[in-house]
Structure 1
Amino acid sequence: MKKIHNTLSDKMEVGEATLNVCLGSGLVALDVIVNGNPSTPAKLCAGGSCGNVLSILSFLGWKSSPIARLSNNNASENLLNDFKKFNVNTSLISCTSDGSTPIIIHRILKDKFGNPKHKFEFKIPETGVWLPQYKPTLKTAVDSIINEEPTANVFFFDRISRSALNLAKYYKSKGALIVFEPSSMKNDKAFQEALALANIVKFSHERIANYDTEFPQPMCDLEIQTLGKDGLKYRLKASKSNLWKLIPPFLIEGVIDTAGAGDWCTAGIISKLGHKGVKSFFDSGLNEIENALNFGQALGAVNCIFFGARGMMYNLTPNMLENYISELILNQSINIESINEYQNTEMTSISNFKFDMIL
């Protein structure tokens, strides 16, 4: 396996004074993490696929700027405070009365055999009332976003909207690597446009099982299909083949929560292939691409030792994480006991949590 280059994130380009930049549009939410025990305080943290990927990239040394249209309520305040713990740029997030701050209950459970599992809930348990859902950024905001961030190394989006497509088109014209991570598929004009703009598309086989049927030939330069505990597979448009190649997973002990593994994988891939925009991606050979996929999977595997989609960020420093990832890639195993002895940053915890506290 190729050695991890310099630092975990390759965060600074030689001779440059600025960090790599990733902008992201899509699901930015407040996660409420519970485990079913009423005596255990609920933990609040920024979440959603876009929120997680951008937060992780900031942790890896990038300047990350999520784009979101949130409400002006306590949920947004908690979400933004969590972003700020990890130096995420929040200047492209609006908080207005006509916005919406999605709230996702992340419930950590065990199956009948004692194995960890999790589920996401979108209704208040006591009342059955729907929690706030995602609202896309308005297309009228695109010009102001571009004025504030005229260039980026990477543009990421996980929800299709006119604003996201317009931003992807603009940043692609400026040399950015475009990464699309859909959570569902509707093979319509908008989805086709998203694929045409994207250099990389990454999706879960559990959520989009019929991608191969709808698109027997590669539509994007790199297509990544995650397979849960079985790893991932990928194919390249340049290979002139529709065959997928399997990249096996890293198997580690002590797994307690698999949520967020895919977001860590995405952020790891971006950090390795997108640090010079689309140029670094097209300059990458097969070994570099597979190294990036392995790096992403290693990040996702280690995060499974912690509670929460980004639990690793609250328990390890970037330098500690680099050491553990290097150990995992080299030896296919890590010392779990040494990891669990450390805590870096605390999540916000609320005893006797009620949803009216944040709505």
Structure 2
Amino acid sequence: MTVRERTAPRLLGAGLVCLDIINRDGKVQYYNGGSCGNVASGLSFLGWENAVLIGQYKDEAAKLLNCNLDGLGVKRIEVKHGSLATPRIIEEFINGPQKEHRFSLVCPRCGRELPRLSPLPEKSVCFLELDDFNVFYSDRASKGIALLRKLFKDKGAWTVYEPNSSRNVNSLVTHALDSHIVKFSAAKVSMAIADTIRNESTHGATVLIVRTMGAEGLVYSYRTRNNTMSQWKHLDVQPVPHFVDSCGAGDWCTAGMLYSLVHKYPNFTTYLTHQDVVASLQYGQALSAISCCFLGAQGLIYSDVNEEMEKKLLGDRARLFTNSLIPATPSDILSSDNCEFCLLER
């Protein structure tokens, strides 16, 4: 069966799929997180059929992570790499009028450093039997991810790269030029680097570059019919009806952008129209605005969305997938060998 024959688009994600530990006013909640995990989960919430490459995690956090993925119908493809401990990130809210949050990789209770994601090597993916996915998404760079990207490009699927930092500029630019869609935030990638990617992308695979700027909206450049990249164009941010938390807003923007674009173009296309680019980005911005009304990057998935809010932001576009999902919680009685906050074995 070819990609074009499928009724529901499919995405394969490789990158950070972790457990988000949200601490607000002493109340601790556990959601799935990581850009890869958020985008795959968000698109499943919208009706896609997705899968993520994930480590062979065997700890208490893995039970929550896997249960939440299963609830959304996100398939897990376990690969052997790195630690057996589930990556996790702590999001703590700072009391104040700005409703700010900060992220930590150290548990405030037991003082231990939290497990991190290990790079995906080639040997972990070369044996995979891959179905016909429409999109390959990655938020990290490694040899294994580069190999997967090549395989997906060869069969006409979209490839998306959302770098988590610009610490290694050469690697970022190389992976960006090898990807069809590149998206990043201004907080992580400077305009100078964005300009470099845009200027060099004429000779690369890239057809769309997006740089989000928080309250200032976003800028984008796309490949036109005459095979040149457009000048940077700007879109204003969409208003948030009731702001609670901006965590994961960029990932919802990605999910909405892909939802709109891939429904129009199930297979990779060598150029885009300005109308299609704007429509996809505005749908992404609408989802991003809705997500800010809820706590945590995936709070929207487990919350009742006000119908008036949904109609105001999404209009006649696809409605949110209604469900009665409940996020998984730790076992009622944790072993005394586990930290009651980060769930690490002591």
TM-score normalised to the size of structure 2?
0.84
- Do the aligned partners of residues 97 and 267 (structure 1) sit closer, same or farther apart at CA in structure 2, a change above 3 Å counting? closer
The question of 1:292 aligning with 2:280 is answered yes
Where does 1:235-314 land on structure 2 (aligned, <5 Å)? 235-238=221-224, 240=228, 243-275=231-263, 279=267, 281-282=269-270, 284-314=272-302
Name the SS for the 2:75 alignment partner: coil
- The equivalent of 1:10 in structure 2 is none
Q: Secondary structure at the residue paired with 1:274?
A: helix
2:116 corresponds in structure 1 to 133
Aligned partner letter, 1:223: I
Shift of residue 329, structure 1, vs aligned partner: 4.7
Q: For the residues of structure 1 that align with 2:208 and 2:82, how far apart are their CA atoms?
A: 39
Q: Find the counterpart in structure 1 of residue 92 from structure 2.
A: 107
User: How many angstroms apart in 2 are the aligned matches of 1:265 and 1:294?
Assistant: 8
Alignment-mate amino acid for residue 123 of structure 2: T
Match of 2:313 in 1: 328
1:26 equivalent to 2:26? Answer: no
Alignment length (residue pairs) = 326
RMSD value, Cα:
3.0
Q: Deviations over 1:244-296 (max 9, x none)?
A: 11111111231010101000000111111124766365474211110100000
After superposition, what is the alpha-carbon deviation per residue over 1:193-214, rounded to whole angstroms, capped at 9, x for unaligned?
3123211100000111242454
1:64-103 mapped onto 2 (5 Å cutoff): 64-90=50-76, 92-94=77-79, 98-103=83-88
Paired residues of 2:207 and 2:270 also in contact (CA < 8 A): no
The Cα of 1:357 is off from its aligned counterpart by 3.3
| Change in 2 beyond 3 A, CA 1:211/1:283 | closer
Deviation at 1:107, TM superposition (A): 1.6
Which residue matches 1:191?
A: 172
CA distance in 2, matches of 1:356, 1:222: 38
Give the Cα separation in 1 of the matches to 2:148 and 2:323: 38
- Equivalent position of 1:346 in the other structure: 326
Asked if structure 1 preserves the Cα contact closer than 8 Å seen for 2:45 and 2:301, the reply is yes
Q: What secondary structure sits across from 1:203 in the alignment?
A: strand
Q: 2:218 and 2:313 mapped to 1: Cα distance?
A: 17
Q: CA deviation at 1:181?
A: 0.2
Match of 2:136 among 152, 155, 159: 155
Q: Is the 8 A contact 1:28 1:68 kept in 2?
A: yes
Q: Which residue of 1 aligns with 2:126?
A: 143
Give the match's secondary structure for 1:143.
coil
| 1:209-257 per-position Cα deviation (integer Å, ceiling 9, x unaligned) | 2424544615221100000111111012437356311111111231010
Distance 1:157 1:26 in 2: 5
TM-score of the pair, normalised by structure 1: 0.81
**In 2, Cα distance between the equivalents of 1:356 and 1:94?**
24
Which string of whole-angstrom CA distances, capped at 9 and with x for unpartnered residues, describes residues 60-93 of structure 1?
1111111122421111111011111111111x12
Percent same amino acid among aligned pairs? 29
Q: CA-to-partner distance for each residue in 1:282-320, whole Å, 9 max, x for gaps?
A: 474211110100000000100111111011111147xx7
Matched residues in 1 for 2:269 and 2:278: separation?
12
Matched residue SS, 2:127: helix
For structure 1, which runs of at least 5 residues remain unmatched after alignment? 1-12, 332-338
Q: Which region of structure 1 is more displaced relative to structure 2, 127-136 or 306-315?
A: 127-136
